Amino acid sequence: MNRKVLLIEPNYKNKYPPMGLMKLATYYRMVGDDVRFYKGDMRSLAVELICDDLINHLSIILPEIFWKNYYPTLFEFIKLGKYAILEADPIFEDEIVLDAVKEYRKKYKDKEYFTKPRFDKVGITTLFTFYWDITIDTINFAKQLCKKPEDVMVGGIMSSLLKDEVYAATGIEPFVGLLNHPGDIDPGNKLIIDELPLDYSILEEIDYVYPANNAYFAYMTRGCVNKCKFCAVPKLEPQYCDYINLKNRIEFTDKRFGARKDLLLLDNNVLASKCYDQIIDEIKECGFGTGATYTPPNEYDVTINNLKDSYNDRAYIRKAISIYKEIMGKLKDDTEKTELYLKLEEAHCLYYYTASKEDILGLDEYVRPLYEKTHKPSKRKRIVDFNQGIDSRLITEANMKKLAEVNIQPLRIAFDHWSLRDIYEKSIRTAVKSGIKNLSNYLLYNFEDKPEELYYRLRMNVDLCEELGASIYSFPMKYHPINDKEFFMNRDYIGKHWNRKFIRAVQAVLNSTKGKIGRGVDFFEEAFGCDIDEFMKILWMPETFIIYRRIYDADLRNRLADRYTTVTKHDCDLTNEWWEKFKALPPDKLEKAKAIIALNKFKDGDFVCDDKEINDVLAYYKITRDDTENNQ
């Protein structure tokens, strides 16, 4: 077909790469299309397109000059239009050159990339609904890069949940759910896109590095047998599928892209599968049994082989340049390092924007021994992670014993509400009894729970760690509605038992614990309080006092004196000063004060109160982080 295909992930931060786009990339390459992946500022993509055209144009009119060397300068000028950018190099004094550069700057200003679109297919993925603004802006920009509106594809979580809203905002009819039928993209094509292996090469095309970047990403089941009302899975994957082959996809990945260290499975309820034992056995066959290790592949070989196969030249040119920099950094002999630099400079292979496939392949005989000299891979432990968690209600001794046959780390178990405490505790004990001692859990809050129930769940995990000798990391997760028009575009939803101040207090604590709570009673009690009364005190506490408790709370310093061995001149006891005034308020004034504090707006003018006692309490909430840091 030889279509030009652009696949885009909006420029939000996320941990995992876009599996949907990686499957689409595989599909389009299989049918012979030219695929490009982009994640970043969309206007920078437009500059790249114009800049590439300019370099091609200059190479035709003045072929004796290697114009790719001027890419950074041309990029900046096209983007900003400042002539000072060109003044540093006399080549731009040439009238022919300057006229060409000005012409292509005008093309950018006139948005020629919209009026003369160059892509036959444009696909945009979507993630969480609270990324609404950046996602809609990306779609509205990207759709103009496509030759025909009907060839713009939008899919993923947000667009599946908010199909009508996305259509109203963009004019693009999204795909809903999975591409799990033949002909979903091209009528008559029998490939099922959702079952295709991932194209990991596209991740080399971009500057963004996903935190989880050395794993196989896969599903072995789809959907969930539960219909939890806070969960989007029933809408995204309405049909439960008991088994999806993993082995073939891993074999494809190993051969084309090199082996990955870990196995990250995004199944929503693997324990519900009738093929559960088969799934675990297949995971073992794929090299993830108990004690499994991994030796990193020869990334240089992977890069050269893919360039020879013309498999995503754009990606593997960038990868080759990255490998050259690694080698340069690891060479200890300055003579070798200098010689390599000169070789790369001569071949125009110091930068990805100047390098060509032919030049990289021409350097192979020289570079390969240097790579083998500087890269001595060692074995590492492999892990399996059912990242979405497993259902505590379905845990048995039999399925935990089976799960212990693979390198599960951690075992994630949801603990969504306090009413599940007996089932949850039994599931933890069963897992530990089976030899699985590295555990994690998600704690949903701000839904229908009460604040104290979050504390009880956290406390239970800490106590179970101590009793069982296990490691249980808890990750509190704030609930956001997925279909409420008032809240799906933001993170402003407040549950009926919560208020804005409580939400901020929990987030302030989690910021200091880096979002998770693990083993250690002292650590937990410092963060969340030694009992429910202290936890409720922390929720009402001024945010700056929460963040800098060691400075402001003398009682805490005394209680943990063996840990707080450093005293600064700024240590004080404002926390207890505030607390005494807070508690001393008469009931009617206390309720009025709480109503103001619950809004979590403490700047002058954000609230009106003419009561001196209440204002004396509210004054502590105006102490900011900057006040503290400026006094350090």
631 has pLDDT over 60: no
Bridge partners of 475, per DSSP, are 442
CA atoms within 13 A on the CB side of 490: 6
Residue 563: predicted pLDDT: 72
Q: What is the mean pLDDT of residues 249-262?
A: 97
User: Under a CB-based contact definition with an 8 Å cutoff, are residues 323 and 299 in contact?
Assistant: yes
| Structure confidence by residue, pLDDT tens digits, 499-539 | 999 999 999 999 888 878 888 898 899 999 999 999 999 99
Q: Which positions ≥6 away from 90 have C-beta within 8 Å?
A: none
Residue 499 exposure: Cα atoms within 13 Å on the Cβ side: 12
pLDDT for the residue numbered 1:
62
The mean pLDDT value of the chain amounts to 93
Alpha-carbon torsion 297, 300, 301, 306, what sign? Answer: positive
Q: What is the pTM of this model?
A: 0.91
443-497 tens-digit pLDDT: 999 999 999 999 999 999 999 999 999 999 999 999 988 777 788 777 889 999 9
Alpha helices in 290-420 (DSSP H): 299-308, 313-330, 334-346, 357-362, 364-374, 397-403
Give 631's contacts (C-beta < 8 A, 6+ positions apart): 570
State yes or no: pLDDT of 336 exceeds 80.
Answer: yes
**Residue 630: what pLDDT?**
56
**Average pLDDT of the segment spanning 100-121:** 97
Region 278-296: mean pLDDT is 97
Q: What mean pLDDT comes out for the span 111-130?
A: 96
Look at residue 568 in the predicted model and tell me its pLDDT: 62
End-to-end CA distance of the chain: 65
